[in-house]
């Protein structure tokens, strides 16, 4: 775990974050409840309460380059435990989105998994497990990792050979519409 080093102070980053997310990290008074309950704290470079402090003090580069925002599992324990009713899990989500927009991905495999998940949703209208695994393995080149669990998953019917979903086209249309809106937004802002 890294120590806190408040070197930069990009006040505009906090304001931009508030505007984009609708969350107010300034309410955090550093009680540490979120970190105490977070099941991933041991793997984070900065615990979640420290991410909140970095955000309050405008440490944009440190946050967007952190591993913590990618390793967060969105379990929402932090949100549930926060005495100030801050939606901490949503804040972690938003930071991940902002990092992604700036091409900052401290955990590339996590991003590859998200991309595979989204591609599956776009193509099939829901999760097609084998498709996700194949896409992820090709992107990450971890071709033979976790192969031993596949037979068990087949036997227990946790994964099927073929996608069994209807309505994929409708979901693809939603994606297309969203991407068009985002492009338009970027054009208007830039």
What lies within 8 Å, CB to CB, of 18 at 6+ separation is: 24, 25, 26
* Candidate residues 18, 21, 23, 40; the one interacting with ligand SF4 per rule CB under 6 A: 40
Return the number of other C-beta atoms located less than 10 Å from residue 61's C-beta. 14
Helices 11-21, 48-56: axis angle to 10 degrees equals 110
Q: Which two tokens stand for residue 174?
A: 């939603």
- When the beta carbons of 39 and 151 are compared against ligand SF4, the nearer one is 39
31 binds ligand SF4 (CB under 6 A): yes
Distance CA(142)–CA(37), nearest Å, equals 31
Q: CB of residue 26 vs ligand SF4: minimum separation in angstroms?
A: 10
Number of residues that bind ligand SF4 (CB under 6 A): 28
52 binds ligand SF4 (CB under 6 A): yes
Distance CA(51)–CA(23), nearest Å, equals 14
Distance CA(128)–CA(108), nearest Å, equals 22
* Candidate residues 9, 26, 30, 184; the one interacting with ligand SF4 per rule CB under 6 A: 30
92 binds ligand SF4 (CB under 6 A): yes
42 binds ligand SF4 (CB under 6 A): no
Q: CB of residue 55 vs ligand SF4: minimum separation in angstroms?
A: 10
Q: CB of residue 63 vs ligand SF4: minimum separation in angstroms?
A: 13
């Amino acid at each position: 775990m890294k120590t806190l080093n408040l070197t930069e102070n990009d006040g505009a980053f906090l304001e931009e974050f508030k505007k984009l997310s609708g969350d107010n990290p300034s309410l955090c008074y550093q009680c540490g409840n979120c970190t105490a309950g977070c099941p991933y704290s041991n793997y984070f470079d900065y615990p979640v309460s420290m991410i909140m402090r970095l955000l309050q003090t405008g440490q944009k580069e440190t946050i967007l380059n952190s591993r913590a925002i990618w390793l967060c599992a969105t379990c929402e324990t932090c949100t549930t435990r926060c005495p100030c009713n801050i939606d901490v899990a949503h804040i972690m989500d938003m930071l991940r989105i902002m990092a992604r927009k700036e091409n900052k991905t401290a955990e590339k495999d996590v991003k590859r998994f998200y991309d595979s998940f989204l591609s599956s949703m776009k193509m099939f209208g829901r999760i097609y497990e084998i498709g996700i695994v194949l896409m992820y393995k090709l992107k990450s080149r971890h071709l033979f990792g976790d192969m031993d669990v596949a037979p068990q998953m087949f036997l227990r019917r946790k994964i099927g050979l073929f996608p069994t979903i209807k309505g994929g086209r409708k979901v693809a249309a939603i994606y297309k519409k969203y991407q068009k809106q985002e492009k338009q937004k970027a054009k208007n802002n830039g």
